[in-house]
Amino acid sequence: MIHKFTSRFVSKWLILLVDMGIVAASFTLAALARFNFEFTYVDPQLFKYHLALVVFFRLIGFLIFQSYSGIVRHTSLEDIKNLFNALLFSSLALFVLSFIGHKMNWSLFKIPYSILLIGFFIAMFSLTVSRFMVKSVYERLITNHKDSRPVIIYGAGDLGRITKNSLYNDKRYKYKILYFLDDNPQLNGKSIEGITILSKKDGLEEFLKRQKRLFPHLEVIFAIQSISSVLRNEIIDSLLKTGVPLKILPPIKQWMNGELKASQIHEIKIEDLLEREPISLNNRLVNEYLNGKKIMVTGAAGSIGSELVRQILRFDPEELILVDQAESALYDLETEIRRLSSKNHSLKASFHIRDVSSEHRMEELFQLYTPQVVFHAAAYKHVPLMEEDPFNAVKVNVRGTMNMANLALKYQANRFVFISTDKAVNPTNVMGASKRLAEKYVQSLNAHQNTTRFVTTRFGNVLGSNGSVIPLFKKQIEKGGPVTVTHPDIIRYFMTIPEACQLVLEAGTMGKGGEIYVFEMGEPVRIVDLAHRMIRLSGFEPDEDVRIEFTGLRPGEKLYEELLGDLEKTKATHHPKILIAQVKPEPHEELQRAFMELLKELETKSKVEIVRHIKALVPEYVSENSVYSSLDETKS
């Protein structure tokens, strides 16, 4: 019923007719007011001609300025401005006409100046009030049919007030703001526009649970952004424990035209809790090495590769050569990029299903496109799977990286950026050791030549990437649990996908080649704490509604990851979140011979033979919780 009402609009001609009635009544009232409502002073015969002239000129003004074409229920200051201009134009015309009438002694045109002036103000007031009355009635009618939503805003600063205003201006729901909450005890008991501020640093959980009983659909909106991420997460954790649904504001830079919309206030996600301070990119330097360049990205359809592609597009490359062996994922990426290229006709992109371990197939692409910058993100990364299949770990992570690095040098690419992992540091599994071998090769090749800059980037777990714990936990919670965690004490470093890719691009601008860049990952996160948060974010209580189950460490898994090896030190860069791991490169010819020995007849070697060979090349590789642990005993 209400939808039918809101979807209908009054004809603009009917609005014009009503406006004409208002200006006629305004002139009549002005004439009576001029003579103190003494009717004997008004000449009816002369008045009707004056009224006709006023109505005619008002009509001309309305038609010129289209003051009747606005939707009355959405009247704005712009509409009032059009009304003012129309009335001012017609009033000036009437003054001129009256002046001529007085000069020529034409009684039909001799409209008293005082009546015209009074009539102008009465008409302006009446037309404005009529529009805002219709708008007010409409909004009250709509508000009465909106779903009512009780809300408590956490934060009584400027952001809290902005949040309040955006909720009150929302067209979808009728919000009832119960309180502001704030940590500042000096604000306790005060109010903002009639809404009480409470300081509930102590007893917050009991207070919110009591409010939840009174208002079953209660929501809390966290409206503070200018605090440290540690304090922010502490407050949010305390709010989550109350069981009241929690929402947050988007970053200010994402507000629509600098204005917060209620529709942008969203339920808090685990990514919001783990994000740190925003990264500041040196866009000028990044632009210098990406703008107008031919860029190849391997593993382009993966979580890191696809985000790299999106960020690279901002710098207007000449051409993108996107490589992946996953057909479906590459098709999805192609669909996304083609949609963008339909808007940006200068964008050129090609998509290729290739295995980086096939040197011949990859060389075809280098011959055809001669990329100037190569981002090598293709890799096998799942620890348990690679522990079971060391052949493919070496084939893709080692041979594939060798192929890509050699081809980048052969075809004289300017830069080669290799994406590694913190699992390559003091590796305890096949996957990490294979990535450490790739790091060694890239670094040694850089020292062997001066044509291509080879750099390595090393970072920890990426939130939401394929196979990470976040999607796994979400699925388990949706099914009612249990949520599986390998060990109560296991910790990991986390970084968001956009954050990781921004740092990869920034690192690519740095150095002369040969560096291994380590990203500042913040504080490590206990996985069991992550599970608790995600369960609470879903509206459940850990171990009451959704059980957490400890399954034991998987083969090759360790309790904590490291970003630096035992013998590695760091050196600062101009970017506070990027450090250089000072690792001495190994002689290239010697390392290449050792690698060729590893890759020789790789297909025929047993798992144990492959791992034994890897351990010989990576002395710090000590298996944990693995069938290959016996090889460490013989090695020692």
Structure letter (DSSP) for residue 373: E
pLDDT band at 281 (very low <50, low <70, confident <90, very high): low
Which range has the worst mean pLDDT, 162-171, 302-311, 592-601?
162-171
Please choose, from the candidates 352, 349, 366, 288, the residue with its C-alpha nearest in 3D space to the C-alpha of residue 313.
349
Give yes or no: residues 576 and 442 share one domain.
yes
Give yes or no: residues 219 and 345 share one domain.
no
- Measured at the CA of 148, the angle between CA 145 and CA 150, to 5 degrees, comes to 170
pLDDT higher than 90, residue 58:
no
The structure tokens 């910058």 sit at: 373
pLDDT higher than 70, residue 146:
no
Query: 291 and 317 in contact (C-beta within 8 Å)?
Result: yes
d(C-alpha 432, C-alpha 611), whole Å: 12
Query: 588 and 445 in contact (C-beta within 8 Å)?
Result: yes
Give yes or no: residues 297 and 341 share one domain.
yes
The structure tokens 């999106």 sit at: 310
pLDDT higher than 70, residue 278:
no
d(C-alpha 608, C-alpha 390), whole Å: 9
Query: 124 and 83 in contact (C-beta within 8 Å)?
Result: yes
Query: 429 and 626 in contact (C-beta within 8 Å)?
Result: yes
Single out the residue in 143, 172, 188 at which a domain terminates.
Answer: 143
| pLDDT for res 297 | 96
d(C-alpha 496, C-alpha 596), whole Å: 36
Give helix then strand counts, H and E, for the chain: 23, 22
Give yes or no: residues 343 and 392 share one domain.
yes
pLDDT higher than 70, residue 256:
no
Total residue length of the chain: 636
| pLDDT for res 162 | 86
Largest distance between two CA atoms of the chain = 123
d(C-alpha 120, C-alpha 69), whole Å: 21
Integer-rounded Cα radius of gyration of the chain: 36
| Domains held by the chain: number | 3
Q: Flag whether 105 is in a domain.
A: yes
d(C-alpha 602, C-alpha 596), whole Å: 10
Measure Cα distances from 291 to 78, 356, 412 in Å.
Answer: 43, 25, 18
Q: Among 321-335, 340-354, 521-535, name the most confident range.
A: 321-335
- For 469-525, the pLDDT digits (tens) are 777 888 888 888 888 988 888 887 777 788 788 888 888 888 788 888 887 766 777
d(C-alpha 62, C-alpha 64), whole Å: 6
CB atoms within 10 A of CB 96: 11
Q: Which tokens hold the place of 598?
A: 């590893």
* CATH code of 382's domain: 3.40.50.720
Query: 161 and 249 in contact (C-beta within 8 Å)?
Result: no
pLDDT band at 413 (very low <50, low <70, confident <90, very high): very high
d(C-alpha 221, C-alpha 273), whole Å: 14
Mean pLDDT of 355-369: 95
d(C-alpha 322, C-alpha 302), whole Å: 11
- Residue 395 makes CB contacts below 8 A (sequence gap 6+) with 357, 602
Mean pLDDT of 400-420: 94
Q: Flag whether 620 is in a domain.
A: no
Mean pLDDT of 205-231: 81
- For 17-41, the pLDDT digits (tens) are 888 888 889 888 888 887 777 766 5
| pLDDT for res 506 | 83
| pLDDT for res 389 | 93
Query: 456 and 376 in contact (C-beta within 8 Å)?
Result: no
Give yes or no: residues 371 and 341 share one domain.
yes
Please choose, from the candidates 375, 349, 374, 319, the residue with its C-alpha nearest in 3D space to the C-alpha of residue 500.
375
H or E element at residue 517: strand 516-519
Q: Flag whether 553 is in a domain.
A: yes
pLDDT higher than 90, residue 573:
no
pTM, rounded to two decimals: 0.66
| pLDDT for res 635 | 58
Give yes or no: residues 518 and 577 share one domain.
yes
Strands 494-496 and 461-463: parallel
pLDDT band at 400 (very low <50, low <70, confident <90, very high): very high
Q: Flag whether 575 is in a domain.
A: yes
Give yes or no: residues 392 and 491 share one domain.
yes
d(C-alpha 223, C-alpha 249), whole Å: 6
Mean pLDDT of 405-426: 92
Query: In this predicted model, which residue has the larger pLDDT, 1 or 65?
Result: 65
Which range has the worst mean pLDDT, 29-43, 93-107, 153-167, 203-217?
29-43
CA dihedral 539→541→545→546, nearest 10 degrees, is 90
How buried is 355 (Cβ within 10 angstroms: 0-12 exposed, 13-18 middle, 19+ buried)?
Answer: middle
Single out the residue in 143, 177, 197 at which a domain terminates.
Answer: 143
Q: Which tokens hold the place of 151?
A: 């809300």
Query: 259 and 223 in contact (C-beta within 8 Å)?
Result: no
| pLDDT for res 253 | 65
Give yes or no: residues 495 and 519 share one domain.
yes
Q: Flag whether 154 is in a domain.
A: yes
Mean pLDDT of 222-238: 78
- Measured at the CA of 57, the angle between CA 52 and CA 59, to 5 degrees, comes to 95
Give yes or no: residues 345 and 222 share one domain.
no
| pLDDT for res 378 | 94
- Asked whether the bond before 482 is cis by omega within 30 degrees of 0, the reply is yes
pLDDT band at 5 (very low <50, low <70, confident <90, very high): very low
Query: In this predicted model, which residue has the larger pLDDT, 430 or 525?
Result: 430
Q: Whole domain around residue 8: which residue ranges?
A: 2-143
Q: Mean pLDDT of all residues in the chain?
A: 82
Give yes or no: residues 514 and 415 share one domain.
yes
| pLDDT for res 247 | 85
pLDDT higher than 90, residue 397:
yes
List phi, psi (to 5°) of 512: -105, 0
Mean pLDDT of 177-193: 83
- Measured at the CA of 551, the angle between CA 550 and CA 553, to 5 degrees, comes to 110
Single out the residue in 241, 268, 295 at which a domain terminates.
Answer: 268
Q: Flag whether 364 is in a domain.
A: yes
Please choose, from the candidates 266, 228, 229, the residue with its C-alpha nearest in 3D space to the C-alpha of residue 250.
266
Give yes or no: residues 153 and 123 share one domain.
no
Q: Flag whether 447 is in a domain.
A: yes
Q: Flag whether 616 is in a domain.
A: no
Give yes or no: residues 129 and 171 share one domain.
no
